[in-house]
Structure 1
Amino acid sequence: MAYRKAPHTGASTGYLPNLTSSAGDSRADEPQAADGKRPLTVSEAMNLAKGALEHITVTIVGEVSEVNVKRGYKAAYFTVKDASAALPCMMWFNRYDKTDGVTIGMKVEMTGRFTLYPKQGRMNFDVFTLKQAGEGDLRKKVADLARKLQNEGLMDPARKVPVPAFPERIGVVTSPRGDAVHDVLRTLRRRFPVATVQVAGVPVEGEHAAEYMIEGLRACYRAKVDVILLVRGGGSFENLMPFNDEALCRAIVACPIPIVTGIGHEPDTTIADMVADVRQSTPTGAALFVSPSQDMLEETFGTYAASLASGVQYAIDRAAMNVRRAEDRPLFKDPHTLFATDELTLDMTQDRLERLLAGATVPFATQVDTAAARLARSLEATTAPHRNQLDVAAGRLTRSLAGATTPFERDLEVTSARLARALPLGISRDKTAVDTLEARMRTVAGGMLDPFNHELALSAGRMHDLSPLTVLSRGYAMATDGEGHVVKNVDQVKPGDRIEVRVSDGSLDCTVDALQPAE
């Protein structure tokens, strides 16, 4: 019997039998319904319903109540419900992998068609597309806000504050009851235990979560921390909406302290991540970023140690060079060099004084000689008649000459006395300076000789250990021939030769009786 499909009217009219079938039809004797139509089998009824439903594509909103996603299957299975009904759903993995997935309690909006499986007698809703209900509007608002802040330059990398390499005080703004705070504290305690951690416990979900997080940032600023971690664990797009709040994002930008975010998991990105100074994918990643690793600390301290050692060695080398330069100065080789200038000045002064004294008496000596010559000539002519007058005049002349030379003699005596007093004082001062410098030079020389004395002692000890006398003191003997050569083998002597055998406390004069070469 042939079948024809009835026009779709929204009701299940089924496949109507063709009443003009042949008389030989095997179903002609089958029971008939009251209206004269043949009843359908279960398979026919299920196929009828399947054909009618699979042509209907609808969009449904509901809450996920059950989830069964196993990679061993070819599809993901879940159930959505409302207040009075539940609908089992399935979604092939090639479609499901393009979504963010579903969780129990999530409100979803899905588009698909109903499908029946006749063998099991089950109906599923074959899902084509799936998204979180209401998420489209939220994502549009977030995207608009992101573009607005980007146009204002709030996401410009040039305005972001660098994070210090070794923060001593770390602020953490997160929920005190979530897993994020424990992950951060555990990581900081393991990698950088010397840092002080200030935790501002605030809600990170809910209507007023953004306001509380802004106050947490202010608390960290008042605590004068070096860096702030704004973190929370993973969640749905709606749960992360407080981190897309405009007031919170502007507070992050206005904060002078560098802020590192670790919000959700790797795929989650909020506007707070975009405007923060550094964005990490997880709270643990944020803690790892602000805490230096052990390798980094060892490398840094090694660099500082090498630089310090180089600087100290350079200072020691310069000091040693200055000591060697001072050691080579003439002063330390000949102490008289210190007073050479003063002695030369003293000699020159003495020479000038002698010349001045000699020059001061020359004019008067000439006058005396001239007067004496004139007097002698005059006396020769007038000696006899004027003897008495001559004697008187000679006495007057003598007194006059004595009076003329007296001032110069007094000046000479005064100058001699001053010179006699000045010379000992100058020599005494110079001698004191010489004694002081000699004492300093002996002290410096003694310190310079200590290394050489130590080295000499070591060399003497080595020479003592290598001395033949030390070997003799242990019971050995040394033989020498008549010329003083050490006898090392029997070929150097012959019977009858005299040799000298030295032992530890003296020597023995011996004669060689026979030679016995070693076997």
Structure 2
Amino acid sequence: MTGQTIITVQELTRDIKRCFEENDSWRNLWVRGEISNFTHHSRGHMYFTLKDEAAKIRAVMFQSHNRWLKFKPQNGLKVIARGEVNVYERDGQYQLYVKEMQPDGIGALYQAFEELKERLRLKGWFDPSKKKPIPKFPRKIGVITSPTGAAIRDILTTIKRRFPVADVLLIPVQVQGEQAASSVARAIRLAHRYPLDVLIVGRGGGSIEELWAFNEEVVAEAIYQAQIPVISAVGHETDVTIADFVADLRAPTPTAAAELAAPLLTELEEDICQLTRRLYKQINWLVAEERQRLNRLRQSYAFKYPKTLLRQKEQELDQTIDQLHKHMRRYMDQQKNNLGALHHRLRQAHPRAAIWQYMMENRRLRSALSKMMKQYLTAKQAKLDLVISRLDGLSPLKIMTKGYSLVYDQEGTKLYKSVTEIQPGESVRVRMHDGQLDCQVWGIKEEQRDA
């Protein structure tokens, strides 16, 4: 044993427990089995064994989870349990800690229920804002249920006891079996042919298979499309169906549905009596108040001396008229003064004087402009004449009148500036101030200039 690590039983158990806790697949799993050794502890916890033909496992379901069970577990009952596997350290034994459990055989129905419930919720069929109010005093109550079950007897007895003045119309249907759902849906549509104020749809208690017709979409659709307010009354208080979610009001039992649909007549009679007493009391109080007011009026000055009061009022009227005339004259004088002041200000601000002033200024400016234009044109004309005179003095034509001439080649494109540019016998064109000459050179004599 030298070199070997020795651990305690507690340490070993905790290591095993840690292995269970680190395995995610054991944290949330479903187990099918048969209940045996069932014990319901006084503190509310349930202890039992789940077994099948080949194995068994200890299980515990604490009170915080089993309080929502809709059935009573017992030995020999086959169930499907959801929970996690872990180790109970004190006994060193692994066991299933159950969080949810249902009888075996309804798992598929439960899944279908949840799927349909979620789908209809997303479609808005459970929206509270779409629920129709239940009338307080219905005259005609429709009941859709089996004509032979205990539910119809409870409903009729309750309505007759609470509100016997209401008429009840029974529309018989099948409440379980393959044709039950279509029978209930058809009856809901048929109910719209009658002048019903409210409709009770339901049946007595039973297993989930027996209540399944009220979990069918065809029934939910008929309730959702109904124009008559619908009270669902399916099974016992712990039974919940799709019809309960879609209906305008859910009743825990058929008897409760009748109580919700029909008011208690004796309570209504008592309310009416109380309201009647309050009404009489209020009327008597008002009559007494008005009688006292009448007596005060009879004792008033106006009733005792009406002529004297009339003369006083006539005099007050004359004084009021005089004051009105006085105020009117004062008001008219004030308005006339205001009008005169405004007229004076208007004449001062009349545009005629401004227009005349602008016209005179316009004439003065036009005259000044004309004078300046003439001076400007005279100066420019004198300057132009001077430039023309100078330009005329520099003109080659002006110089040619003094006897000068220009010599070009025969085509008249090249101007000769020296005799060295011309050959004897060459034809030239001589330009004079009054015309041109076509000549031929017979001889050339070059003049010598002093350097």
Q: TM-score, normalization: structure 1? A: 0.40
